[in-house]
Amino acid sequence: MAKAKNKKSSILIIYTGGTIGMVQHPQTGMLTPVRFEQILEEVPELNKFNLNIQTEVLNPVIDSSNMNPTSWIKIANKIKKQYNKFDGFVILHGTDTMAYTASALSYMFENLDKPIILTGSQLPIGMLRTDGKENLITSVEIASSKKDGKSIVPEVCIYFDSRLFRGNRTVKSDSELFSAFHSVNYPELAIAGVDIKYSSKNIYQPENKGILKVNTSFNDNVVILKMFPGISRSVFNSIFNIPELKGVVLETFGSGNVPTTRWLISCIKRAIKKNIIVLNITQCEGGRVVMGQYETSIELIKAGVISGKDMTVEAAITKLMFLLGQGLNTDDVKMYLNKSLRGEISE
């Protein structure tokens, strides 16, 4: 029994690319990737943890702007393969699409009972003022943290600049500040100061825990269409008539409103009759879609548009891709879009 109690926690760090693993070329000043081993050499503080830390590298290492469902599946399969060997996972990822990857992974991992923490940095880890060291060190500590033998945060999260967010509630809000991410519609899961203070009431705990299941199918025949004053009929119709289109995330005004122009509503109705799913998401940073609150959204209800409630755009588009990839019929996809699968919607 004593031997079991003294067993070190094990953390797997997966490096996918991004600014955290870049160095400046001395002549050109351009950022180029470094060997992953160099990142760990830059953070010797990790050796002070009483942890078994191992590393893997996504092959090939990519800029986060090149992330896609194939990359998400590679990351998920690496975790799935090593799931029973480790107590938590830290994914080093570029900031630009981190919220998309976090959202996608949250749907892929069913019955997750270990932390998957995504982090990165705004400055390369080799630079003097880098934010990468603190982000990596604290992510590792959170990923290894347990209470009564169970992981404190058994969900997919983003840790950045002293704050831990639910992954599918997070958006990148700034390209320059160290506080690059925020979550308007859901509170932080933890704040790291002198101590790491966890908000247990905000941490997602699935009602029915079961055996881990990793679903790795996506359908990328989807599009995000952002409404703006003056959007033309030809543009709108062209998007809804894309060959093989299966779903549209419609970024609407305010609480879910669109112009009541007859051609626009007719185009949406025709698409829905062809089993194209239309999901209504607000353009606003905070708040939620409340269809029927104003006359301009009543027509969307009549047409069969689904309310995305308070999902982020990142959570909405990845959820749509994920559900369309599961072989469900149209009615079931609509039903699950309206339900919270991993805490992405406020009930």
- Output the CA torsion 251→257→262→264 (10° steps): 0
DSSP 193: S
DSSP 221: -
User: ∠ CA 52-165-16 to the nearest 5 degrees?
Assistant: 50
List phi, psi (to 5°) of 277. Answer: -85, 130
- Report the distance separating Cα 169 and Cα 245, nearest Å: 26
List phi, psi (to 5°) of 135. Answer: -60, -45
The verdict on whether 101 is a catalytic residue reads no
Q: H or E stretch including 269?
A: helix 262-273
Name every residue whose Cβ is closer than 8 Å to that of residue 173 and which is 6 or more positions away in sequence: 180, 181, 182, 285
Active-site choice (16, 19, 97, 138): 19
**Which regions of the chain does DSSP assign to beta strands (E)?**
9-15, 22-24, 31-33, 51-57, 88-92, 109-110, 116-119, 146-147, 150-151, 156-160, 163-166, 171-172, 181-182, 190-192, 196-198, 213-214, 222-226, 247-252, 277-282, 306-307
Q: At what angle do helices 313-324 and 98-108 cross, to 10 degrees?
A: 40
Amino acid at 288: R
- Report the distance separating Cα 332 and Cα 52, nearest Å: 43
Q: Each residue of 3-30: b (16+ CB within 10 Å) or e?
A: eeeeeebbbbbbbbbbbbbbbeeeeeee
31 has which bridge partners? 24
List phi, psi (to 5°) of 160. Answer: -160, 130
15 has which bridge partners? 57, 92
User: What residues are annotated to the active site?
Assistant: 19
